[in-house]
């Protein structure tokens, strides 16, 4: 349950707990909280555990320059670290910083790894039934791994053939397509969840975790089938915030291991991650002639330039050009 925020002691004394409390009070996502705390901790350790109040812009410059030049991190990583430190000083400590002047990380353009449709089918053939369904949704609906794992029964609309992604990247909701080919398997998975949930209620562990403050607003919702995860964990665990025993969603490492093993058995040498199937979804739709703005909406990209990277990996060679020798 590492995507559920942990409880903070009342009146926290530790500096990082005070920072954590401030981030939560401002309504930031839990992933943002973990990321900011990670970089603030790295910043403090880099300067030999000096308190941030004893440091300033020059210390931020040296840390960020170290990330960009010695650690060779990407511009995106350096920018995230910068955001965390700006939050630390300006919002939490209420300290105005002098102009920052650090060495920028070099831009390294990387094209995503993409699988052909045949390669996806080969991997799917090597997966157990449940994991085959999960990867089919990654590829067939363009979901991110966390969006798939956080999918709940109520988010599936068989009548409209749509999936609703709740609180996706950037805390945004969106709808995407539900492939016809997986609907029978998905119906069977929901029937399994229903039976398992009934047994959990009988065992006194049937309350699922609800996001935000919904548990207080809808007291009975945690036991309803609609709020259950489509791909629940195989084990019962204690909630890190309340200590209540409940069944959470499947852990992300379980799916990753299955994908890696299936890739090896299929004889595919490409570096395949769960996110690779999302890349392959976008590229496949471009190959089929769908409008790039439609694909942008399905993927949930706020910036069209993010979607346009898939035009560089179409199956027609570099930049979509057909070689003269193949004409």
- Class level of CATH domain 15-92: mainly alpha
Check residue 109 and give its pLDDT: 73
Per residue in 76-124, pLDDT (tens digit) is 899 999 999 999 999 999 999 889 999 998 877 778 899 999 999 999 9
Residues annotated as catalytic (active site), given as ranges: 144, 169, 275, 278, 301, 310
CATH 1.10.443.10: which residues of the chain?
117-312
Q: Alpha helix locations (H) across 173-303?
A: 183-202, 214-217, 252-265, 274-287, 292-299
Angstrom CA distances, 167 to 31, 158, 267, stand at: 12, 21, 36
Mean pLDDT of 285-291: 87
- Class level of CATH domain 117-312: mainly alpha
Residue 29, class by beta-carbon neighbours within 10 Å (0-12 exposed, 13-18 middle, 19+ buried)? middle
Check residue 241 and give its pLDDT: 75
CATH 1.10.150.130: which residues of the chain?
15-92
CA atoms within 13 A on the CB side of 268: 25
Alpha-carbon span 302 to 310, nearest angstrom:
15
Mean pLDDT of 302-313: 81
- Average pLDDT over the chain, rounded to whole? 89
Q: Is the pTM of this model over 0.85?
A: no
Check residue 323 and give its pLDDT: 58
Token pair for 34: 């973990």
Q: Which residues pair with 175 in a beta bridge?
A: 164
């Amino acid at each position: 349950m590492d995507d559920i925020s942990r409880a903070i002691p009342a009146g926290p004394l530790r500096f990082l707990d005070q920072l954590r409390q401030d981030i939560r009070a401002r309504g930031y996502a839990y992933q943002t909280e973990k990321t900011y705390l990670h970089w603030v901790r790295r910043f403090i350790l880099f300067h030999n555990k000096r308190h941030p109040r004893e440091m300033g812009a020059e210390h931020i410059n040296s840390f960020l320059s170290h990330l960009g030049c010695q650690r060779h991190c990407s511009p995106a990583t350096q920018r995230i670290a910068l955001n965390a430190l700006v939050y630390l000083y300006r919002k939490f400590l209420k300290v105005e910083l002098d102009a920052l002047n650090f060495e920028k990380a070099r831009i390294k353009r990387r094209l995503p790894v993409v699988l052909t449709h045949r390669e996806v089918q080969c991997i799917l053939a090597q997966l157990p039934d449940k994991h085959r369904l999960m990867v089919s949704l990654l590829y067939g609906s363009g979901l991110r791994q966390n969006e798939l794992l956080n999918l709940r029964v109520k988010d599936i609309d068989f009548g409209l053939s749509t999936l609703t992604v709740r609180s996706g990247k950037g805390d945004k909701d969106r709808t995407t397509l539900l492939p016809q080919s997986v609907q029978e398997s998905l119906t069977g998975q929901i029937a399994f969840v229903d039976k398992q949930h009934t047994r959990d209620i009988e065992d006194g562990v049937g309350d699922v975790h609800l996001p935000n403050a919904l548990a207080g607003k809808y007291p009975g919702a945690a036991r309803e089938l609609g709020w259950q995860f489509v791909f629940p964990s195989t084990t019962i665990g204690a909630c890190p915030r309340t200590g209540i025993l409940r069944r959470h969603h499947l852990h992300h490492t379980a799916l990753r291991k299955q994908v890696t093993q299936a890739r090896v058995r299929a004889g595919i040498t490409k570096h395949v991650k769960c996110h690779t199937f999302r890349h392959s979804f976008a590229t496949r739709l471009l190959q089929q002639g769908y409008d790039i703005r439609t694909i942008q909406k399905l993927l949930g990209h706020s910036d069209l330039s993010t979607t346009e990277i898939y035009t560089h990996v179409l199956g027609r060679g570099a930049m979509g050009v057909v070689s003269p020798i193949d004409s």
